[in-house]
Amino acid sequence: MATKFSTAKLMDLERICISHMTVGQRYEDPEGGTCRLALYHYPFTLNCSEDEADDLFPIGCILAIREPYYEIASDVPTIQVKAPSDITFIAQDSPLVNDVTWLNTFTSYDPKTPDHWKERGVGHFKNKLWFCAAISFSQGLSLDPVHHLLLLNRAETYLRLEWYNSAARDADAVLAMELDDPTLNRKAVVRATKAHYYADRVVQRMWEDPNVGATINTMYAGDAVAVADYPPAHSSSSGLKDPRVSTVDIDILRVEAVCVLNAFRLDTIDTQTQGQANSDERPVALYFLPSLCNHACIPSAIRSFFGDVMVMRASRPLEAGEEITLGYSGTTRPFEERSKVTQEQWGFTCECLLCKADRADSATARQQRVRLYAMSPAQTLAQAQSRLAAMKATYPDTPERQACGIKPALLIAYRELAEACVAECDATFDVKYAVQCAEAIMDGFETVGMVILDRTISGRVGPAALPVDATQPPCAVHLCTPMVLQLVGSLCVLRERVRATNWLKVAIWLEDLETGGGKSLFQEIYKKMLSSLPIRV
């Protein structure tokens, strides 16, 4: 068949969402009538070839569909199956079809022995058709449930499919046989270890592990969807018997809602410090326990990502029983932006101290704050000073602001002022701008709750080990750490090496507060900035 392609411009093409793609097949009822069936979200069928589809849904297979319904698609009546767990395969000799006769009969060319099924499965495996291989090995095991080679092969295949619970079950079953062959035992140990170690993917995980399905059901999926009790009941399921049939009912609408409302973007450490990637390009993942944390604009915990591993650390000393909260939106973002995120996406109004303080400000002040926040960076020192003064004017001294204690948008304004001072110092070689830079940074730190014990820039150094109170960390730590290094640079310009060294310790403390990696990780993350400083960590 000749290859077909479009000559239209890319911008003129209509986007096709993955969630709208289907596996389309034609099926026959016992009377010989045929119809089209559209199956959505079936595992591993997004890029499957026609040969793979024939292996997944061979001619002569019998399907049972729960609550089927017709819908016109492309002007053709089509049976729609939105949830993949609504379809199941029925064996030819099942009692369910004993009384069913078929107008048309088909000759099956499927293997008849476990070893022949194994050969077919190995062929699929070599061609990296993991799902088809799993089906073949499972068909062989239906004839011989204790065939250790089929179990080992299926375990390895399940690992490739990232179905770790079922892979572990198969490998553990082989280990329980206590085979005399040390090579086979070693393979079973390795595959069981891998299976118990890894975990991934939502629908694919639910497909083979009912415990994942139970966990998903306890996660928030919107007010219109009931949430199951927590903790979920543990299932002792023995894993997949047939890889084509899910171990649990999958409500795809719930899964999609859970993903939308609970998924975290993986802002890895390097992207946090070396420039954000496009938000649409960053991966997302579900983390069960963190998804249970409520929002606060000034959260009690900070999250960091090491690859796909999330680490949560307390952002301040916590009392026993105190709630652990996470920020769903950035602390320094204007009130209107934060409120839009919480109200439109999660349907609640935040009542934290910061939101109460912002809400007490006049609408005019908040609008001015939004306008200033959206401006591109200041180009001159005078412009930065003017914007800082304008931003200060948007924060009246209300009782709510006093109770809150922070003015996060001012941190951004002070950072811009500090950067303008650095540029002026570099251009004029006048060290007074280094002094102004250091003062601006310390003023900025105080707007986000940092308690500075020694603000001096010259003269006698204070007796404290750190120039700040380490029992009262600031919010927006990820912004404060690079600003501390900028402060260290200004102190080095002023030849205040002792002060610079003490503030460098503050930077290490802040980074450790966020990531817990200590000095070595701090050096790796800020390698480029540290290389320009005349002092060493």
In this prediction, residue 326 carries a pLDDT of: 93
What is the DSSP code (8-state) at residue 12? Answer: G
In this prediction, residue 280 carries a pLDDT of: 46
- CB-based burial label for 73 (10 Å; 0-12, 13-18, 19+): middle
Distance from C-alpha of 467 to C-alpha of 19, rounded to nearest angstrom: 54
- Assess if residue 307 is contained within a domain: yes
- Assess if residue 362 is contained within a domain: yes
Distance from C-alpha of 26 to C-alpha of 464, rounded to nearest angstrom: 78
Pairing of strands 76-81, 69-73: antiparallel
Whether 273 has a pLDDT exceeding 50, the answer reads no
Average pLDDT over residues 418-447: 96
pLDDT band at 63 (very low <50, low <70, confident <90, very high): confident
pLDDT band at 369 (very low <50, low <70, confident <90, very high): very high
Choose the final residue of a domain: 97, 123, 153. Answer: 97
- DSSP H or E stretch at residue 487: helix 477-493
Greatest Cα pair distance in the chain: 100
Which has more confidence, 187 or 26? 187
Which has more confidence, 268 or 127? 127
Choose the final residue of a domain: 29, 64, 97. Answer: 97
Rounded to the nearest 10°, the torsion over CA 80, 86, 92, 93 is: -150
Q: Would you tell me how many other CB atoms lie within 10 Å of the CB of residue 25?
A: 16
Distance from C-alpha of 212 to C-alpha of 208, rounded to nearest angstrom: 9
Distance from C-alpha of 418 to C-alpha of 410, rounded to nearest angstrom: 12
Range of the domain at 55: 18-97
Helices (H), 20-88: 50-56
Q: Would you tell me how many other CB atoms lie within 10 Å of the CB of residue 527?
A: 11
Q: What are the tens digits of pLDDT across the range 313-366?
A: 999 889 999 999 999 888 999 999 999 888 887 888 999 999 999 999 999 999
Which has more confidence, 515 or 212? 515
- Assess if residue 232 is contained within a domain: no
In this prediction, residue 277 carries a pLDDT of: 42
Rounded to the nearest 10°, the torsion over CA 214, 220, 222, 225 is: 30
Whether 255 has a pLDDT exceeding 50, the answer reads yes
Distance from C-alpha of 418 to C-alpha of 412, rounded to nearest angstrom: 10
pLDDT band at 198 (very low <50, low <70, confident <90, very high): very low
Which has more confidence, 172 or 442? 442
In this prediction, residue 522 carries a pLDDT of: 93
- Assess if residue 406 is contained within a domain: yes
Average pLDDT over residues 169-178: 87
Q: To which residue do tokens 């026609």 refer?
A: 50
> Which range is most confident: 59-63, 269-273, 456-460, 480-484?
480-484
Choose the final residue of a domain: 97, 115, 139. Answer: 97
In this prediction, residue 14 carries a pLDDT of: 64
Taking alpha carbons only, the member of 326, 328, 296 closest to residue 313 is 326
Taking alpha carbons only, the member of 237, 170, 228 closest to residue 208 is 237
- Assess if residue 210 is contained within a domain: no
Q: To which residue do tokens 């308690």 refer?
A: 451
Return the percent helix, strand and coil in the chain, to nearest 5.
50, 10, 40
Q: What is the number of domains present in the chain? A: 2
- Assess if residue 104 is contained within a domain: no
- Assess if residue 261 is contained within a domain: no
Q: What are the tens digits of pLDDT across the range 51-61?
A: 888 888 888 88
- CB-based burial label for 413 (10 Å; 0-12, 13-18, 19+): buried
Average pLDDT for the chain: 84
Q: What are the tens digits of pLDDT across the range 221-236?
A: 777 677 767 667 777 7
- Assess if residue 148 is contained within a domain: no
